[in-house]
Amino acid sequence: MIEQMNDEFYMRLALDMASRASGQTGINPVVGCVVVKEGRIVGLGTHLQRGGGHAEVHALNMAAGEAAGSTVYVTLEPCSHYGKTPPCADRVIASQASRVVVAALDPNPAVSGRGIAKLRDAGIEVTAGVLAEESRRLNEAFEKYIVTRMPFVTLKTASTLDGKIAARGGDSKWITGEQARMAVHTLRHQHQAIMIGAGTAAADNPSLTTRLPVPGLNPVRIVVDASLRVPLDAKLYTDGEAPTIVLTTAGADSERKSQLAARGVDVIECGDGTAVDLHYAMQRLGEKEISSILLEGGGRLNGSMLQARLIDKLVLFFAPKIIGGGQLAPGSFEYEGAGRMADALQLRGVEVQRYGEDIAITGYPDYSSGKE
């Protein structure tokens, strides 16, 4: 019992360190590592960037000679294969650690379990599954991408209590307060890309950058624009703050495509119909090694993505306001939806957090629950 408590204590520290690097590692997972010997922490490490040293390497380098006979806590199974860096399992073995505690197995089915097997074959005691769910949640985007090569999509909205994202005249600034808006900018920092529709881009002329008290990472900006109607002088195409991708169709104006390309915009044709093929778009974005997307769309794009079952997670901010406006005021989701309450889409794993006067509801859509 005491050993289990100690294992969870040190693993929570490793998870906390890993979470601090969320958004920095690209398509790679965030990982934390703690080395403990005789009740003392002798090494700490976090994977900080893709291609850089892994968490185990940083922690064992800090521990140096103290690593022999130690217990190594790591939030994800040490890798057993060569990638941009040598196998971490080999580094742990070379350190002469006596025990390794792992949170979650590597989700890649091609290598899952091999790192643990290598450690055990070398005579190292291994305990796996300590706070595994917390580790998987931390790397949910990596887990989806490594298996499907499709990005993990988080839908974010900010609305009034009656579900409106703007007043009937189009005004939407500001629905939520400053604390909630800072939380959204943290989400931008943590995702590789941010996506909006042409209507939002044309109406708001946003920059879609990350604005935090300390510098954050700007995500790749993605605009879904089937007819290329967003003005060429939009900030997304001219400010140079971050790369921009436009998802359009084969039938869109070819001259307009050339003009966008001349501005450094990556134009991707997704289908030859009147609307962007969203499934194909996600495949193409995955090919570009975009593993996570924050969707900040309007009601139509939100509804289309949800109806296509391309949303993996929802973060819904609500302000304590009622604006009314009926159909003249746009809502968070505009699509056909369910005809009966029994067919409504259900969210699972729901969490509620407060930001000043606003609240955020986070959940995962259970597509087997409804007929969305």
Annotated binding-site members:
54, 79, 88, 158, 172, 174, 188, 200, 204, 208, 211, 296, 298-304
Q: Are 221 and 244 in contact (CB under 8 A)?
A: yes
In the chain, helix, strand, coil percent, each to 5? 35, 25, 45
Spatial separation of the C-alpha atoms in residues 331 and 333, rounded to whole Å: 6
Which residues are annotated binding-site positions for Zn(2+)? Answer: 54, 79, 88
Point out the annotated binding site for substrate: 172, 188, 208, 211, 296
C-beta neighbour count of 264 within 10 angstroms = 11
**Is there a contact between 187 and 203 (Cβ–Cβ < 8 Å)?**
no
Bridge partners for 352 per DSSP: 361
Please provide residue 272's backbone torsions phi and psi, each rounded to the nearest 5 degrees: -115, 15
Amino acid identity, residue 27? Answer: I
Report the distance separating Cα 367 and Cα 193, nearest Å: 24
Active site residue 56: yes
Binding residues for NADP(+) are 158, 174, 200, 204, 298-304
End-to-end CA distance of the chain: 46
Neighbours of 246 (CB within 10 A): 27
In the 8-state DSSP scheme, what is residue 280? H
Sign of CA dihedral 153, 154, 156, 162: positive
Task: Compute the residue count for the chain.
Answer: 372
Output DSSP code: residue 288: T
Contacts of 305 (CB under 8 A, 6+ apart): 153, 155, 278, 295, 297, 311
Q: Which of 3, 38, 56, 289 is catalytic?
A: 56
Which residues carry out catalysis? 56
